[in-house]
Amino acid sequence: MKPFEKLLIENKAWAEEKILHEPEYFRQLSQDQTPEFLWIGCSDSRVPAEIIVNAQPGEIFVHRNIANQMVATDFNSQSVLQYAVDVLKVSHVIVCGHYNCGGIKAALSRQRSDLVLVNKWLIHIKDIYRLHQAEIETLDTQEKQVNRLVELNIIEQVHRLSHTAIVQHAWKREQRPVLHGWVYGLNDGVIKQLITLPPGSQINSIYQFVDPPAQ
């Protein structure tokens, strides 16, 4: 059996078991989605969003990329954010990274000439490292340095969310969503909270959006 064929067999078994125990499960699930959470996570295969928080299908709207970033010029992540906030009306946006992240490790290394696109993506994390280089370099092991940059990156991504017009407009109009920064431990499976920004949190004035003057 080929690896992809096993996935198809497992899917069929899962669907049949669901119907056996809950005959209306898929009919109800297909009606609409009303998730309370947008989850911005890392693409790492060891950190599946729904599984690590024991959530059911329909509870979490998920976006994942290398090192759980929110890059202002990335239309993919920005459109996910807009849809989640403005259409699905989520109450919470969670950025969840994880310790021992391969993307963070790569960002702490020299750029590989054969990974041109990956380099462009990781340059944003290198910028975070540069801003906190003095603190990170006081740590005595590579593991500690990587894990501290993991935390700093998560915190930075939460602030980047608050810098978007999407979030600022939702805060002003509807007093939502709450922004969260979490980090997941691969060695113990436990999530730690790093930062929470409720609606109305202070934003540096250079990132604030203002309405144009009346004509």
Per-residue pLDDT reduced to its tens digit, 151-199: 999 999 999 999 999 999 999 999 999 999 999 999 999 999 999 999 9
More confident call, 211 vs 96: 96
Distance, CA of 200 to CA of 194 (rounded, Å): 18
Q: What is the pLDDT at residue 19? A: 95
Distance, CA of 81 to CA of 140 (rounded, Å): 37
Helix (H, G, I), strand (E, B) or coil at 119: helix
Give the model confidence (pLDDT) of 4-33 as tens digits: 999 999 999 999 999 999 999 999 999 889
Distance, CA of 22 to CA of 104 (rounded, Å): 42
| Band (134; pLDDT cuts 50, 70, 90) | very high
CA angle 91, 154, 108 (to 5 degrees): 160
Which of 96-105, 108-117, 160-169 bottoms out in mean pLDDT, i.e. has the lowest? Answer: 108-117
pLDDT over 90 for what percent of the chain? 93
Q: Residue 113 above 90 pLDDT?
A: no
Q: What is the pLDDT at residue 6? A: 96
* CA dihedral for 183, 40, 78, 109, sign (positive or negative): positive
Q: Residue 212 above 90 pLDDT?
A: no
More confident call, 183 vs 115: 183
* Residues taking part in catalysis: 42, 44, 46, 98, 101
**Of how many residues is the chain composed?**
215
Domains recognised in the chain with CATH numbers: 34-200 (3.40.1050.10)
Distance, CA of 136 to CA of 66 (rounded, Å): 21
Q: What is the pLDDT at residue 45? A: 96
Find, among 180, 179, 175, the residue nearest to 200 by Cα: 175
The set of residues, in sequence order, having a beta carbon less than 8 Å from that of 121 and lying 6+ positions away, is: 65, 66, 67, 69, 71
Q: How far is CA 184 from the centre of its chain?
A: 12
